[in-house]
A = this chain, B = another copy of it.
Amino acid sequence: MTDSATESRGRSLADVEHGLGMPLQDAMSTQRAIRRLLPDPVDDAIVLRCIELALKAPTGSNGQNWEFVIVKDREVKERLAKRNSQIWALYGRIGRLLARGDEGAQRIMQAVQWQADNFADIPTLVVGCLRGNRVPMVLYPSMQNLLLAARAMGLGGTLITMPLWSTASARSILGLPFTVQPCCIAALGWPRGRYGPTTRKPVGEVVHLDRHGHQPWRP
């Protein structure tokens, strides 16, 4: 556990809100999935501020047909943890096979395992939902805003979908009406680790011009 993590416990919105003034490109360049979180509670006002910025993202036809369920209740978290473990028992086995000999992939598998083992201790889950028959994609830009805002205020977070693999079960756990579809979850908490620059392929390697295969900016 780092000093900065220890210090972050008990922080209020007033303590961290200045972080939202972080330069855009710094927030993006240092965002990473942080799965190892402290169990310490996160101030509701901080979570609501993240959601407020999530709402600023464009939605198709300005539908704004999203709803967010903040989950802090341990019993609800334990029921979602159980669903998460069920699917992870399957995916994890496959993932570990595929990750053999790839150190980076193994580190991620370990972090996902850690998250599964400690799921009910995640202080705050934000379940992003859509009303009506909208494709779940329209929610993802807003979830990215939410996670960038969280990152700027020093919160750790990841976007997960495994606990929602059974929509019927997720609806029952969260009391969602049939018109509301659970899409994904932002798992939030104060990080045990640190944020920092990520490594990515050079842009010229993934960019094509006019036709796939024409890569004039390839390094």
Residues of A within 8 A of B (CB): 20-25, 27-29, 31-33, 44, 48, 51-53, 55-58, 61-62, 64, 66-73, 76, 95, 104-105, 108, 129, 136-137, 140-141, 143-145, 147-149, 152, 158-159, 161, 174-177, 180, 184, 198, 200-201, 203-204, 206-213, 217
Inter-subunit contact B145/A28 (CB<8 Å)? yes
Copy number in this complex?
Answer: 2
Inter-subunit contact A28/B51 (CB<8 Å)? no
For this complex, 10 residue pairs linking A to B, each with C-beta atoms less than 8 Å apart, are A24-B152, A31-B56, A33-B62, A51-B207, A62-B105, A64-B200, A64-B206, A73-B210, A148-B148, A175-B212
Inter-subunit contact A25/B149 (CB<8 Å)? yes
Inside 8 A of A69's CB, which chain B residues have their CB? 207-212
Q: A137's contact among B73, B140, B210, B217, by CB below 8 Å, is which?
A: B140
Q: How far is the CB of A95 from chain B (nearest CB, A)?
A: 7
